[in-house]
Amino acid sequence: MSISAWKPAQSSMTNFSGRGMMNKHQGKDKVVVVLGATGTGKSRLAIDLATRFGAEVINSDKIQVYKGLDIVTNKVSNEECRGVPHHLLGIIDPEVDFTVHDFVHHALLAADAIVQKNRLPIIAGGSNSFVLALVNDDTEFSSKYECCFLWMDVAIPVLHSHVSKRVDQMVDSGLVEEGKAFFDPKIRDYDYGIRRAIGVPEMDEFFRSEGLVDGETRAKLLKAAIDEIKMNTCKLACRQVEKILRMREELGWQIHRLNATEVFLRRGGDADEAWERLVLDPSTNIVARFICKENIDPKPTVGTPSNATAVAKILGELRGFKTLSLE
């Protein structure tokens, strides 16, 4: 698809910013932004859309930008990428800080490079602070690009269960061994670089106990570390959802919510069918209309009656999360 298809016609008008500004996006190139909590399927959706629209993905996860710890940081594999080029993924020295300002600079460069190839940039990741800084009205990015926001959402109790199972799968895939190879007993500061990743500081006590305690104590320390990883990941998911809600309700962002809960409740072919029906097909339609510059009325979710109802339900789930158990 030609890049010219992404530029709005000069006669078109839009209310995309939610502020009633006419012609605000005339002449701008298009970018799709996939938002969502950790574990909701943002990367899968971004890659699926990229294969349909001739796009490339810009990673907006502040931890996945770093080299190494691919299991701990849950980076997409080469196989999962399915040939779709990814930018800002696993390229930064793990010992340095990659700031919001760094992201804004490099994401703009990546978007410009993608557009120069007549392709569509898709930004995907869980670091909402990065996205917020990038699309702020005062940035060069906002003066050049018009964004379509897609929100991958999963009911908090269902996501909580999925995240816990995913951590167990990561452990089976070598999370502990990968963390041990990275562990440096001389370092106790986990506030910079990739060391901030969930799954690194939680393992510190377990790694330091090697050779100092018996096997039973070691096993208890490992279980405690894994449980802490699960809990911290679930807490992160709640914070991410809360920030997306603020973006939509307080900042007026027009965000298309895709309720993927049913996908996570099904298995095998049934899950794939639900993904197509509830996530991929609706998002494909939204993006197609966006790049063709049709006015889009963002729905709170597929099959949900109103924004107010959807927001109230999500906030209720977030409050209820505090009482959930890992068991």
Cα atoms found within 13 Å of the Cα of residue 18, Cβ hemisphere only: 15
Same fold, 3-156+252-319 and 160-231: no
Mean of the pLDDT values across residues 211-223? 96
Please tell me the chain's helix, strand, coil percentages from 3-state DSSP, rounded to the nearest 5. 50, 10, 40
**Residue 197: band (very low, low, confident or very high) from pLDDT cuts 50, 70, 90:** very high
Write down the domain spans for the chain.
3-156+252-319, 160-231
Per-residue pLDDT at 54 exceeds 60:
yes
pLDDT tens, position by position, 242-293: 999 999 999 999 999 999 999 999 998 999 999 999 999 999 999 999 988 7
218: buried, middle or exposed (CB in 10 Å: 19+, 13-18, 0-12)? middle
Reply yes or no on whether the pLDDT at 4 is more than 50. no
What is the CATH code for 3-156+252-319? 3.40.50.300
The tens digit of pLDDT for each residue in 104-129 reads 999 999 999 999 999 999 999 999 99
β-strand partners of 258: 152
CATH number assigned to the domain with residue range 160-231, chosen from the 4 options 3.40.50.300, 3.40.50.20, 1.10.287.890, 3.30.70.1230: 1.10.287.890
